[in-house]
Amino acid sequence: MKIILQEVMVISPGSKHHMKVRDILIENGMITKTDDPGKIKDSSAKVIHGKNYHVSSGWFDVHVNFREPGLEHKETIDSGCKAAAHGGFTGVLLMPSTEPAISSKTSVDFILKRAAGLLVDVIPAGSLSVNREGKDLSEMYDMAQSGTKVFTDDKRAVQDAGLMTRALQYTKTFGAKIFSFAEDKSIAGKGQIHESSNSVLLGLKGIPSIAEEVMINRDLYLAAYTESPIHFSTISTAGSVDLIRKAKANGMKITADVSALHLLLDDSSLSGFDSVFKVKPPLRSASDIRALKDGLKDGTIDCITSDHCPEDVENKKKEFELAAYGATGLETAFAAARTATKDMLSIGELIAKFTTHARSCAGLKNDIVEEGHEANLTVFDPDKKWTVDLKGLHSKSMNNPFIGKDLIGKAIAVINNEKLELID
């Protein structure tokens, strides 16, 4: 298959074409030629052309759930990859929150086999503990032999400091990384939303910011003690940003991500008790959002994730305190992030959070948009205004908080594994 990207602005630090408008010829999954606008012509090629089209290396999401195996009614690998592609992602790091959890070499191999041949690369993260129960270490080394480089219990924060210490020490020996979701359950308790005057007004139990910050502080100490790298997933508070910023300044090997949802929405969204906004970590305050954006700008926060957590209607459309946590976001993550940060981050800075920085956090190699490199690409319009329509979403679960909302920035096409997906 031949594809010509015509008159596209290249966003690819390290490439000689970075921040230049180019024509790009793709043949058999490789970038074979670049030239000045209008110079590449081939009547047999599929041409992608539009006003204000940009191209970058394919976007990568460091935190998604597809629910297969065990919970296929919420999301399958096929439907999740379809949603990812339509959100502009060509690769995802799949969390082990399945039934059973991804806790063995066999389960990793199952995911890889199911995802083989798809446009979107699915990289499974293995569970840190057996079945995510927080008691015993999983078969980490065996999973690593199948290609797993990240271990995490996802949104079940590891409460046992000894277990976390052993996990950090063990994974260090074979070059893997621990992803930590920071929440001290003894502090968070049965909280439902961010602890604030708003939680008091709504009569809902609050989750204080220190529930996250205490756990981040603990894991920073453990990472320093073991001299191991660590990644903090979906941080949400100003205090967390400050802790990570100081630790990085001290030379610690730390990375962190934030969900796009937490960059655009604060806890005032919960005034109507709509469970679509019930997520973990909870939506925080406007001042926390400002701190998160500052963290993105100065490099404290390395990347942005969709934190895609599909839930079926039966688990979301119920009394707020009984409703499940989580929101889908693959198809709206870039637009939410662009809308939230357009006055703070340049398009180059924003794209780095979805490309080079994201892949680096997951231990993957980065690529550039240049001749001789694989065509793993996302074509996008950073300024396209659009309204999120339920009918246009491809996830099996429809718990997306942005349905009906106006956003800025949209993927136009994705190219990977010699496949092309045009995004409607």
Please give the structure tokens belonging to residue 293: 């954006």
Q: Which of 49, 48, 95 lies closest to 71, judged by CA?
A: 95
Q: Which of 243, 335, 348 lies closest to 295, judged by CA?
A: 243
The Cβ of residue 71 has, within 10 Å, a number of other Cβ atoms equal to 18
**Helix (DSSP H) and strand (DSSP E) numbers for the chain:** 14, 18
Q: Which of 304, 235, 312, 236 lies closest to 276, judged by CA?
A: 312
C-alpha distances (whole Å) from 390 to each of 305, 395, 405 are 21, 10, 11
Residue 401's φ and ψ, nearest 5 degrees, are -70, -10
Give the torsion sign (CA, 373, 377, 380, 96).
negative
The DSSP call for residue 91 is E
Q: Which of 298, 307, 367, 406 is catalytic?
A: 307
Reply yes or no on whether 35 is catalytic. no
Q: At which residue do the structure tokens 């962190």 appear?
A: 256
Catalytic residue numbers, as ranges: 307
